[in-house]
Structure 1
């Protein structure tokens, strides 16, 4: 019999049980009030006057109107390459492509047909390498894209990330995890969606593991979402959604026990390792052969770069307060990664066990270990505020710019409220003195928008994802992916991105000439039939 809007006592009891046992942020939240907006908030054009830099430096808009730019790179002939990611949360169908800017400022499409998100591009030995979802590829001189490595575990929350050439000539790159903290949960269905599209996705270990009996009772996503994939306002309508499915299929389980390193709802005590593993630094020969694990135990190793001291620096995004195993107060980290090092995920943060009370979330129970044994855990070189989202970085290499040897770090900014917090950390470029670990803002937003849209309705920097110096070291380029807001629908949140708001900022010493093409460039895609 169809569900008619009334709830039988047995169903009410089941719903109460679901709400009581779920640790998927149905408890106390910091989500904003309101409803999904009928219109995308207006985003003003970028203005260099809204980009704050220290005295003695000047900022300008090098390139604007980009659709989710994620990376910038330089070749040996003075050309600049900019990758448009092709995917952000809330906009999965944007073009994934690479643009080339000539020294005179002419812009052409260099490569397209990539699998978004494109997270990085790398010029090496006269050719461009691309890190895009599940693949490391090479752009041939003809513009054709040739895959070198495929099948990377990048269909969950995080992807394969930045590439860097090591002293041994091999290419190193980061590989993120599928989940927040090791367990596939309801957060991977809403709002991340991938559990509904790819229910076989889970974290792949770098080493053979013996797991504890730890499990988490979690609502069945197909029930909660009424098998429609992505219901706007589903929390408001959760009673109807679950009850309607339950009425149609009374044999369907409403609650599932989910475990670490398993597809949702499955279980095993021993898990076998794979080379294409989650939460790792991988390396390969420049032809894609010889893929191997260099280090493991990272959550989302986004920025990967060898420093002037010959050490490998990696930024790692900390745990979020969400999912079946929520973790509170976990900072981001920068690690000096060593061969075969283990960096703690999914049971440690910055060398501290997650069983420490500081990581206890109001959304979940006391955190338990997932692994039976732990290797020796490496500590961080430096920690950054929680959810600052430390991304890609570079070292100043020239007195022409100043601060030679200092690290310039882009921080995307908190995904509030998607990440389960209410802070406004990040949204900046930080200068770090490696000798003292002192960190100071270098690029900031001087004109934040109204409350709740500080980094959406603004002409200043919004979400920096890369800081990179020109080949001569005189100029710092900052890739700003653009305006991404969040709105509540029911109990929300949903991402509300604004395509075409991406910017490349360019910073140099005041009075000096900018290195590279002219400023204030805009890419105009060719129309159909070349008209």
Structure 2
């Protein structure tokens, strides 16, 4: 099968051994950079950052980048998941800041760079709504007064909603997006464990998408059973929310496929009891038959263990026609697969509100030497700038890449 094509039928759990295969990041040297399809050019928009994770474009075109990183893999974060506390060491490991860039002459190179907000707690998602700047920290939703064009946040802001902090592996990241009317904010929260191994009681308000009013009130679970939903966007010409989800590890090379799916209000997507509909997890066989029966089958399967995180629909008209209204997905890359998967940005064509073809490679070249598990970088957040260019956060090489039409 191609590296973009998941299996037509799922293998049995344990059909292949669960492996640990972490990549070694060597960076981009001697002018090396990712590769885009013919007709596009890739340039370095910004570098010298500290783990740029997510990118948000303000209505006036200012570009905000959240710089944050995982604390400790598999150990401290699981403890945090159970205790509901954030790691007190994070100031020593992650930048905990938001940097703002401004391109005043529209040449694709920022003319201004400002530290917009500091002393956060593993921030990721950002949003401007109703004269407020929102930040999704790992442990809560923050709200700050905002005026268009400001280059530094001087207010201390306030936490308007508590969120469960940390999580298994890298499930500390919280993303936010508004609804079309601007009356609700959706928050993605990953699971606290891989597959419920510490008990379902530690998963309260996790593994799903939450809905809240802009003042932090009225929180409810919008959709559940989504192991680690991160990127969210509204499909063009529809009123449907879509997300990309990282599925569980340790069941083999091809289990469980990550996926790209529409999100139905009140729906349950299986985790941890089942995956891809009614495929029961080995650790929960026969324990929740009614829930398993209700599990929604995702719309579009991706390769297992790709860590598909970034998501943006391309609504602009600058890219060629084939890319319009389709979805770009940033794949951070595998650690639990014999051969590396992900480590690229893929494109999924869309028509009539649904995927309309196989996933295609769009931005590649991140893998330097697969035999040695060496990679130049790891793409995460993807977004579209005001000029129609695609911006890609490469958090492992501390770079923001810009993909534009020649």
TM-score, L = length of structure 2: 0.79
Deviation string, structure 1 residues 101-143 (Cα, Å, up to 9, x no partner): 2334221111111111x22212323432111111111233443
Asked which structure has the greater CA Rg, the reply is 1
1:94 corresponding residue in structure 2: 94
Residue 350 of structure 2 aligns to a residue whose secondary structure is coil
Structure 2 CA distance for partners of 1:32 and 1:284, relative to 1, 3 Å: closer
Q: Which residue of 2 aligns with 1:252?
A: none
Correspondences of 1:10-159 after superposition (within 5 Å)? 30-31=19-20, 43-45=27-29, 47=31, 49-89=32-72, 92=90, 93-104=93-104, 105-116=111-122, 118-141=123-146, 142-157=153-168, 158-159=171-172
State the 1:144 CA deviation: 2.6
Pick aligned residue for 1:174 from 156, 179, 188: 188
State the alpha-carbon separation in 2 of the partners of residues 110 and 70 from structure 1. 15
Q: Which of 294, 308, 320 is matched with 1:390 structurally?
A: 308
1:244 match: none
Structure 2 residues not aligned, in runs of 5+: 1-13, 74-88, 105-110, 147-152
CA distance in 1, matches of 2:25, 2:342: 22
Give the one of 438, 441, 453 matched to 2:358: 438
1:217-251 alpha-carbon deviations (Å, 9 max, x no partner): xxxxxxxxxxxxxxxxxxxxxxxxxxxxxxxxxxx
Partner of 1:344: 270
The 2-side partners of 1:277 and 1:448 are apart by 39
Structure 2 CA distance for aligned equivalents of residues 368 and 52 of structure 1: 44
Query: Any conservation in 2 of the 1:161–1:302 contact (CA below 8 Å)?
Result: yes
Matched, 1:508 2:390: no
Contact conserved, 1:166 with 1:172, CA < 8 A, in 2? Answer: yes
Query: What pairs up with 1:292-371 in 2 under 5 angstroms?
Result: 292-308=220-236, 309-321=238-250, 329-354=255-280, 368-371=285-288
Partners of 2:40 and 2:246 in 1: CA distance:
29
Do 1:134 and 1:160's aligned partners in 2 also have CA atoms closer than 8 Å?
A: no
CA separation of 1:103 and 1:31: change in aligned 2, threshold 3 A: closer
Whole-Å separation in 2 of the counterparts to 1:113 and 1:130: 12
Structure 1 counterpart of 2:175: 162
1:166-200 Cα deviation digits (max 9, x unpaired): 1342111111110111112xxxxxxxxxxxxxxxx
Distance of aligned partners of 1:465 and 1:370 in 2 relative to their CA distance in 1, 3 Å threshold: farther
Deviations 1:268-324 (A, max 9, x none): xxxxxx9x61112111111212111111111001111111122110111011007xx
Runs of 4+ in structure 1 displaced over 4 angstroms?
88-92
Find the partner of 2:390 among 433, 451, 476: 476
The separation in 2 between residues aligned to 1:106 and 1:505, in whole angstroms, is 17
Cα distance change, pair 108–381 in 1 and its aligned pair in 2 (3 A) = same
Q: CA deviation at 1:451?
A: 3.1
Shift of 1:447: 6.6
Of 414, 418, 427, which residue of structure 1 is paired with 2:343?
Answer: 427
Distance 1:54 1:127, change over 3 A: same
Instruction: Report the aligned-residue RMSD.
Output: 2.8
Count of equivalent residues: 351
Can you list the C-alpha shifts for 1:61-97, whole angstroms capped at 9, x where unaligned? 1011211111111223332111101435469422200
CA distance in structure 1 between the aligned counterparts of 2:144 and 2:70, rounded to whole angstroms: 20
TM-score, normalised relative to structure 1: 0.61
Q: CA separation of 1:350/1:168 partners in 2, compared to 1, >3 Å: closer, same or farther?
A: farther
